[in-house]
């Protein structure tokens, strides 16, 4: 979804608060939200949790504290009676090998312009951009589906794709940005 959470490359934010080095519990309730999130998160997917945050009203997102956003998400998830009745969901193994890969290392690929009101892990600044496949990143369930269903489905291949920052952000840059994208987010150039 085109949400305010999709911050990559946005102008207008100031200096990084480099000295704000702690976990960010500014008030006791924030630590409690962190602790009570575990039992709720175990009954759903991390993607559904993220999607709950992404759907906050933009002004509320920007003015809530980090754990204020968590509180909103856990409240949203905990309002679903089906989730409360559910047993903990099964997670896939973290280092599954790929069974087959559509794209090879070194191949040029374009990011699809997969606009959706649902959850996506394709940042706006990468849509329609062309990059180079570096390697298989991981084999993990599709985040759009995991957010929609609240359970982890069939794992799919994710690729680490490298993009020239000059293509993304203009000629004054000389670095590289990589992102991990699913096979269905990509098409051959």
Partner 1 sequence: MSPDPSPAQRTESLERHLRDHGVLADGEVDADLARAESADGNAPSPALGARVVARAWTDPTFRARLLDDAVAALADLRPLTVPVAVLEDTPTLHHVIVCTLCSCYPSELLGPPPAWYKSFEYRSRVVREPRAVLAEFGTEVPEGMELDVHDSTAEQRYLVLPLRPTGTDGWDEQRLAGLVTRNVLIGTAWPRPAT
How near is the Cβ of 137 to partner 1 at its closest, in Å?
5
What part of residues 101-120 is at the interface with partner 1 (CB under 8 A)? none
Binding partner 1 (rule: CB under 8 A), the pick from 2, 24, 108, 115 is: 24
How near is the Cβ of 168 to partner 1 at its closest, in Å?
8
Q: Does 164 bind partner 1 (CB under 8 A)?
A: no
| Interatomic CA distance for residues 143 and 123, integer angstroms | 13
Binding partner 1 (rule: CB under 8 A), the pick from 112, 151, 167, 169 is: 169
Residues near partner 1 (CB under 8 A), total: 73
DSSP the chain: ---TT--TT-S------TT--S----SHHHHHHHHHHHHHHTTS-HHHHHHHHHTS-HHHHHHS-HHHHHHHHHHHHHT-HHHHHSPPPPPPPTTPPPS--SS-TT-EEEE-----SS-----GGGTT-EEEEEEEEEEEE-HHHHHHHSS--SEEEEEEEEEEHHHHH-TT---EEEEEEEGGGEEE-
What part of residues 27-46 is at the interface with partner 1 (CB under 8 A)? 27-36, 38-40, 43, 46
| Interatomic CA distance for residues 94 and 83, integer angstroms | 24
Binding partner 1 (rule: CB under 8 A), the pick from 56, 109, 147, 179 is: 179
How near is the Cβ of 100 to partner 1 at its closest, in Å?
18
Binding partner 1 (rule: CB under 8 A), the pick from 14, 106, 117, 171 is: 14
| Interatomic CA distance for residues 104 and 130, integer angstroms | 15
Binding partner 1 (rule: CB under 8 A), the pick from 89, 114, 127, 180 is: 180
What part of residues 144-163 is at the interface with partner 1 (CB under 8 A)? 158, 160, 162
What part of residues 52-81 is at the interface with partner 1 (CB under 8 A)? 53, 62, 66, 68, 71, 74-75, 78
How near is the Cβ of 23 to partner 1 at its closest, in Å?
4
């Amino acid at each position: 979804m085109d949400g305010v959470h999709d911050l990559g490359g946005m102008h207008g934010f100031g200096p990084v608060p480099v000295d704000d080095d702690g976990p960010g519990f500014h008030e006791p309730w924030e630590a409690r939200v962190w602790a009570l999130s575990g039992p709720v998160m175990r009954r759903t997917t991390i993607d559904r949790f993220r999607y709950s945050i992404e759907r906050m009203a933009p002004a509320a997102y920007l003015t809530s504290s980090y754990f204020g956003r968590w509180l909103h998400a856990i409240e949203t998830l905990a309002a679903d009676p089906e989730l409360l009745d559910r047993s903990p969901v099964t997670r896939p193994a973290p280092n599954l090998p790929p069974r087959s890969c559509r794209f090879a290392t070194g191949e040029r690929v374009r990011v699809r312009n997969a606009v959706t009101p649902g959850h996506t892990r394709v940042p706006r600044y990468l849509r329609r951009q062309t990059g180079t496949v570096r390697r298989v990143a991981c084999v993990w369930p599709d985040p759009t589906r995991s957010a929609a269903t609240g359970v982890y489905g069939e794992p799919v291949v994710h690729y680490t794709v490298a993009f020239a920052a000059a293509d993304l952000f203009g000629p004054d840059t000389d670095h590289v940005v990589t992102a991990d994208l699913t096979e269905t987010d990509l098409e051959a150039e």
